[in-house]
Copies of this chain bind each other. A is one copy, B any other.
Amino acid sequence: MSTEPDAVVRAYIDAHRAAFLDDLAEWLRIPSVSADPERAGDVARSAEWLAAELSATGFPVAEVWPTEGLPAVYAEWPSADPGAPTVLVYGHHDVQPAARADGWDTEPFEPVVRDGRMYGRGAADDKGQVFFHTLGVRAHLAATGRDTPAVNLKLLIEGEEESGSPHFAALLRERADRLACDAVIVSDTGMWDERTPTVCTGMRGLTDCQIDLYGPDQDIHSGSFGGAVPNPATEAARLAAALHDEDRRVTVPGFYDGVIELTDRERALFAELPFDEAAWLRAAKSHALLGEAGYRTLERVWARPTAEVNGVVGGYTGPGGKTIVPSSAQLKLSFRLVAGQDPAAVERAVRAWVAGRLPDGIRHEITFWGATRPCLTPLDHPALQSVVRSMGRAFQSKILFTREGGSGPAADLQDVLEVPVLFLGISVPSDGWHSVNEKVELDLLLKGVETAAYLWGDLGEHWHR
């Protein structure tokens, strides 16, 4: 019976579940926030911790790879099978900033298990989704009686994903020999919801920046001077407001150049998903839909490029009022990109647009953080079918397809390693990525373990280059 090996996998996972969760919690306690220079030591500590854990899992190779920024972790477990395909799992061990004062119910770096969920920064994005591969490969070996995986298994877990992966492409190019593979499996996305397992077929790209505007050399009295000199807070607002027209289309000239539009078939496939507007809004913690005219919500977040104001600050922000013209203001903007867009071209377009919109007397500086290219997976790749079959066994359910609105360095992997990129994720929209009270659903996390346990055998059996 085909369920026999699956029963073995499940029994193995059950037996090791408690230790697996304890280990994950230990990792989550390391505040590996890549955006905060003061946390660089914690990111390094997270890398060391993971390399040790992968060694303990059985990977014959487990190394910390330094970069010009923060370190990545690489591990390798060759297959004894001649002709086995080589798969590279990608994830990241850095996390978004988090502080209790942001509104967390518990300390973000003191993970707690409550109601079948583990809460903590990185629980879903991405430590949890990296970590299910440790128990997954062990379950694969235990259920199949193998000493080595049925694929040549490589893991590359970077440390700067939440900062735009500024050194990731360089790392890939430097280490291309060791990273050579037949496919990449990105373990940093999600699925439709708790009841609808899906495979993601693409990710949006990203480029983001900070715009600093300078007006008066210091804050000045709004009564004595206001109304007669340019105000950088006003100009920041005018820039941010001008990003979108009344149809909420991005107005930056050239922004949409090259965008691959959705086909009617893709729009129809998206429409098959059980989209519940009220539930989606609850997951978004939002109270209304608003976006580019002419597109549905899923199309807007998966397949349309966007511009977002991530932060703004300028002038007096303390209690009460202060009647000044502020000396400076700052915008943080991010742009999600879709297949066909080039982040470098978008950066140039934004720089030109900003420079052309500011009045005399307002000086500006723009800093772009690292850019991430958009990515689309070919639907007809045999490895994708292995992912779908393995998820189907784990979830005992039909697997549908989605895209991912977020961004990862999937396109770098695709471009540098010249292989297809697949996605395997068990996170759900309610997991609170980049937000307060981030969590992972333990049932889904263990389905991730189980999928990984089936996947290597399925790939070894069905896919030969």
Interface set of A (CB-CB < 8 Å, partner B) = 35-37, 96-97, 102-103, 163-164, 190, 204, 206, 208-210, 215-231, 233-234, 236-244, 281, 283-292, 297, 300-301, 304, 306, 308-327, 329-330, 332, 334, 336, 359-363, 369, 404-407, 429, 432-437
Nearest B residue to A407, CB-CB: B223
Nearest B residue to A360, CB-CB: B288
A361 with B36: CB separation less than 8 A? no
Q: Label chain A's interface by main secondary structure.
A: loop
Residues in B whose Cβ lies below 8 Å from that of A327: 285
Name the distance in Å between A333's Cβ and chain B's nearest Cβ.
9
Q: Tell me the complex Cα distance, A244–B359, Å.
A: 14
Q: Tell me the complex Cα distance, A300–B313, Å.
A: 27
Q: Tell me the complex Cα distance, A339–B236, Å.
A: 31
Copies in the complex: 2
Residues in B whose Cβ lies below 8 Å from that of A407: 223, 323
Nearest B residue to A300, CB-CB: B228
B360 with A324: CB separation less than 8 A? no
Q: Tell me the complex Cα distance, A327–B309, Å.
A: 11
13 contacts between A and B (CB under 8 A): A206-B223, A222-B310, A224-B405, A224-B429, A227-B301, A229-B289, A234-B240, A238-B240, A287-B362, A290-B360, A309-B315, A310-B316, A310-B324
Q: Tell me the complex Cα distance, A219–B102, Å.
A: 9
Q: Tell me the complex Cα distance, A304–B284, Å.
A: 44
B330 with A308: CB separation less than 8 A? no
B363 with A287: CB separation less than 8 A? yes
Nearest B residue to A210, CB-CB: B321
Residues in B whose Cβ lies below 8 Å from that of A190: 224
B285 with A217: CB separation less than 8 A? yes
Q: Tell me the complex Cα distance, A291–B220, Å.
A: 15
A164 with B321: CB separation less than 8 A? yes
A228 with B360: CB separation less than 8 A? no
Q: Tell me the complex Cα distance, A284–B228, Å.
A: 9
Residues in B whose Cβ lies below 8 Å from that of A437: 218
Q: Tell me the complex Cα distance, A435–B300, Å.
A: 45
Residues in B whose Cβ lies below 8 Å from that of A209: 321
